[in-house]
Amino acid sequence: MRSCDNDMDQDRKRVIESMPLFDAHPALLVMADGTAYRGWSFGAPGTTIGEVVFNTGMTGYQEVLTDPSYCGQIVLFTYPELGNTGVNLEDEESERPQVRGAIARNICTRPSNWRSTQSLPDYLKQHQIPGIYGIDTRALTRKIRQFGAMNGGISTEILDPVELLALVQVAPSMAGLNLVRQVTTQKIYEWSEPTTTVWEFNPEAKPAEGETLTVVALDFGVKRNILRRLASYGCRVIVVPAHTPPEEILKYNPDGIFLSNGPGDPAAVTEGIETTKALLQSQKPVFGICMGHQILGLSLGADTYKLKFGHRGLNQPAGLQTKVEITSQNHSFAIDPHSLPDADVEITHLNLNDRTVAGLRHKSLPLFSVQYHPEASPGPHDADYLFQQFVQTMRQARLATADVN
C-alpha cells in the first residue's frame, strides 16, 4: 500500500485554509494500484467505486456530471477549481448526475452566476454522489496518463486504505461491461425542444418550410443537446430504448436513424449491434456519435479496443488532410482501423493527437459517424455542420425514394 499522505499534508492544508470550510469531513480515495489520497468530502457521504478518468475541460462540469456516457466512472477534473458557476436547469444533459463520483482540487461553495440555482456540493449531495477535494489532482492525472485509467474508490465511511482497496479490487473492469442498460430510456418518447434562441449559434440551423424529417434515435445514453440540435434542424425526433427491435423502429418509417453516445464497452452492447446490422439493410441514412460511431463500426465488421486513458476534453483536434476541427470528446474505446472493411468504409477523421479513428463514412450507403461530440460546441462550433449533413442526406434519400415510386 502506497500513500501520498506525507507528501501532501502541507499542500492539502494550504488548499483548505484558502477555502471556506463546509462539512469538511475526511474522505479517502484509493486507486486500484494501492495509491491512497486523503482529502475532504464534498457532495454526499458514503462509499463509491468506479473507473477513475480525467477530463481536461476548463468549463462545462455540469454537462460532464450529467452525461450518461460517464455512467460507471469517477471523474477527475484537471481544472483547479470546481463549482464557481454553480448548477442550473439548462445545462443538464440528462435528468440527474450519471457519474459515480467526482474528484477536484478546489471547491467553490458560493457560486456567482446569473443562472445558478444551487451550489455544486449541494447538488451532488441531493443526488447522492460522493466527491473528494483537496488532493493533488495534477499528480493523479499524471499517474493515469502513465499507467492508464483504473478503478478507484471514494469513501467518507472507510478511512482505512487497505479496507477500501479490497472493495476496489473486486469491482469489474470497464472492458466487457454493458452499461447501456442502466442509462437507456425505458419508454419511447418524442423530443421537440430545439436549442434556445438565446444560445443558437448557427443561422443555418432551422427547419425547411413545410418539411418534417422523422429521426428515430437509439438511446444508448443520449445527451439532451444532441436531441436539441436535431430538433433545431427541423427533425421530428423519436427516442427509443437501446433494445428496441428493428422492425418496431421501421414502423415509424423514419427518414433517418441516429445512434447515440453511451457508456461502457461498445462491443458488449450486442443488442445494439444486432439492431444496427438489421437497420442497415433498410438503407436508411444513419448518423452515429461517440458510442454510436463505435456501434456503427462494429455492425460493419470492425473491432474496437480500449484506450489507455481515453479522450475527455474540449479541445481535441480531429481532421484529415487540410481540414481540422476543434472537438469535444469523451470516450474510452476506439475503432481498430486495421479491422475496417476497406472496400466499403473510409476514414473521414483522425484524432490528430494520437491518430485514432475519429470519423467514418460508407462509400456507397448513406452512413457516417464521428467519435467526437458536434453538439457540444465548447466555444468553437466547427462540427455542427454534421447535423446539417445528416439532414441533407435524409432529404436526398427521400427524393430518391419518391423518384423510384
Looking at residue 377, its pLDDT comes to: 76
The reply, when asked if residue 39 is annotated as ligand binding, is no
152, β-bridge pairs: 31, 50
Query: 272 to each of 189, 261, 269, how far by Cα in Å?
Result: 18, 12, 5
Report whether 1 belongs to an annotated binding site.
no
Does 262 belong to an annotated binding site?
Answer: yes
| Residue 64: CA count within 13 A, CB half-sphere | 31
Lowest mean pLDDT across 4-13, 180-189, 327-336: 4-13
User: pLDDT at position 22, please?
Assistant: 53
Annotated catalytic residue within 71, 92, 290, 331: 290
Q: Is 69 annotated as a binding residue?
A: yes
What's the CA gap between 134 and 40, in Å, rounded? 6
374 three-class SS: coil
pLDDT at 380 (0 to 100) = 76
264 a known binding residue? yes
Can you tell me the distance from the alpha carbon of 344 to that of 326, in angstroms, rounded to the nearest whole number?
Answer: 27
Grid cell at residue 318: 480531429
Query: d(Cα 91, Cα 74) in Å, to the nearest integer?
Result: 20
Average pLDDT over residues 286-305: 98
Residue 198 has pLDDT above 70, yes or no: no
The reply, when asked if residue 297 is annotated as ligand binding, is no
pLDDT at 322 exceeding the cut of 90: no
| Residue bearing the bigger pLDDT, 206 or 243 | 243
Q: What's the whole-number mean pLDDT along residues 152-172?
A: 98
Is residue 290 annotated as a catalytic residue, yes or no? yes
373 is catalytic: yes
DSSP E strand boundaries for 118-229: 130-133, 150-155, 189-191, 213-219
* Statement: residue 19 has pLDDT above 90: no
Q: What is the pLDDT of residue 195?
A: 87
235 is catalytic: no
Nearest C-alpha neighbor of 30 from the set 162, 197, 129, 146: 162
Instruction: Return mean pLDDT, the chain.
Output: 92
**Is residue 294 a known part of a binding site?**
yes
